[in-house]
Amino acid sequence: MKKISASLFTIIMMLLMVGSSNVFANDASAMGVEYRAHIQDVGDYPTDGTWVQGSDQIGTPGLSRRIEGVSIKLTGDIPAGAKIVYNLHIQDYGWICDVNDPSTWQEGPNFAGTTHQCKRIEAIQIKLLDASNHQLAGYSVQYSGHVQDVGDVAMVADGSKLGTEGASQRLECLSVGIVKVADLVPFYVALGAAEEIYANKDDYTPASVAALEKAVHDNPIADSLFNQAAVDAATKAINEALANVIKITKQPVVTQISSTLTVDLADEYNIDTLKGVLARAFKATLGEKTPDVFVESYVSDNPSVTSGELNPGTATIVIPAVTVTGISVAGPYTVTLKVTDTTNYVALRPALAAINAGAYKNTATVANYTGAEITGVTAANLTDVNAQVAADAMSNLGSLNKSQIQASVNKTLKI
């Protein structure tokens, strides 16, 4: 069974968080942010000694005045150990702290920058940390600004650089806000488990897979990043559907263990799948749980057999020993495996290889498919079929066999 990497869902979570709408904390009981600046020709701003509230803009729009220094502090209900830190890129000095180590950055509300030196701030990094100097869970700091000769720049978040380096352009305005985000990890764990079921849906009852697909479809969270209750409800619905997915109990395709084992070949067998065949055979014979089966080696009288494959013909399998839940079956011993094939899989292999290789380049032809006895492919739908085969091959992390390619075609044709 192929497994889908969870890393994809981590990437999606990060993109959604950074690209989300600006929902800044403005409730007095929630954690917020305030800031001050030292500005060219103005001095400390606001001049009355107060602080600008997030996410209001600080600076002098349209007056071409540089920000020379900043102080930033957290307000409201601040989690224990939480702190805001910032790093500046200053004219003639460069970055004043290590850009890759937020633990070295200036901690709020301390002043960072210069006064009476006529030095412009050119870029800034801001980040929320916990007591261990890791990213503060559940919150995001997002900030934007106005840069000389550039204008308003897009919002960035959580330590990303805002401004320019090496362009001698001053930062003229700054806006900072705190966003409370939901914990999305359990949701994406559930979504990853659902993706694995989709990739192997033939192993489960269609009705239970359909119910899972509906649960995922009916519970998006893109608009609920700031609502933990909504995320928890979506996660719960998907997990309940996962718990109700029913695996199909398949009958063994082999006879009981004896000196000769007959397998009706519906697919190619390599060493790994052969282990499963033999395991089911032992289960059928001993009436116990599927054992651990170790295939030591095999030889075949079929001249088309290559290393690592079993094709139609007869092969002699050497099994060193088998363990079945408290029962030891002495070994080694030899079993002769007779493999039958009703689809002439050996003859189809070149065409299947051409389809798998050609799909990635969108060059597999209708003749490739018909040569492999795949139905439903025409010149009109060839491009869509190739694209689907390529996508399914990537999802399976390898090449597709005949039945899998036919399933890809059927998916394209919506059969």
Four-CA torsion 34, 221, 387, 200, nearest 10 degrees? 130
Instruction: Share the mean pLDDT of the chain.
Output: 79
Mean pLDDT of 304-311: 47
Assign 305 to helix, strand or coil. Answer: coil
Assign 143 to helix, strand or coil. Answer: strand
**pTM confidence score:** 0.47
Which pLDDT tens digit goes with each residue over 360-392? 888 999 998 998 889 999 999 999 999 999 888
Compute the distance between CA of residue 391 and CA of residue 408 in angstroms, rounded to an integer: 9
User: What does DSSP assign to residue 330?
Assistant: P
Assign 144 to helix, strand or coil. Answer: strand
Mean pLDDT of 243-257: 61
What pLDDT does 256 receive? Answer: 35
Q: Which residue has the higher pLDDT, 257 or 29?
A: 29
What pLDDT does 396 receive? Answer: 73
Identify which of 188, 240, 187 has the alpha carbon closest to the alpha carbon of residue 212: 240
What pLDDT does 403 receive? Answer: 86
Answer whether 135's CB lies under 8 Å from 127's CB.
yes
Could you give phi then psi for residue 399, rounded to 5 degrees? -70, 160
Which pLDDT tens digit goes with each residue over 170-197? 999 999 999 888 788 888 899 999 999 9
Strands, E, within 218-268: which ranges?
260-265
Alpha-carbon distances, residue 77 vs 137, 224, 239, 391 (angstroms)? 14, 22, 33, 47
Helices H, strands E: what count in the chain? 9, 21
